[in-house]
Amino acid sequence: MTVNILGTPYAVTVKKYEEEEAFARRSICGFCDGYTKVIVVCDMSTYKGWENEPPETIDAAQKQTMRHEIVHAFFDESGLMDSSLAYDSGWSQNEEMVDWIANQGAKIYAAWQEAGAL
């Protein structure tokens, strides 16, 4: 599948934990590569330690991870990923801020719709 990020197609894949070495090497469950325009999310039912989680928890975690990585892609395509005036962990790479946007984006959009601001 591909997703349009500000006019740039990003390839999006869901991989099993053992299919992507970066999951274990970096202790992550997803990543966005702005250089190659790829978003990879772990099939959380295969993520180490998640084997017994309920399906609804797995589904919610994968969706949140996908939203999170898409926010990173928007920062990449906006030219913001490397423009946060910090050598390491600048504002555009702050995982908590990216999570906040990923978690609250639908609510913000709904409020814009409700207010007629779109």
Query: pLDDT band at 118, cuts 50/70/90?
Result: confident
Q: What does the alpha-carbon distance between residue 81 and residue 73 come to, in Å, rounded to a whole number?
A: 9
Degrees to nearest 5, angle at CA 91 with 86 and 95: 120
Q: Is the pLDDT of residue 30 over 80?
A: yes
Contact 17, 46 (CB under 8 A): yes
Element (H, E) at 104: helix 95-114
Q: What does the alpha-carbon distance between residue 3 and residue 68 come to, in Å, rounded to a whole number?
A: 14
Tens of pLDDT, residues 52-105: 999 999 999 999 999 999 999 998 888 877 665 555 667 777 788 888 898 899
pLDDT at residue number 88: 62
Arithmetic mean of pLDDT over the chain = 89
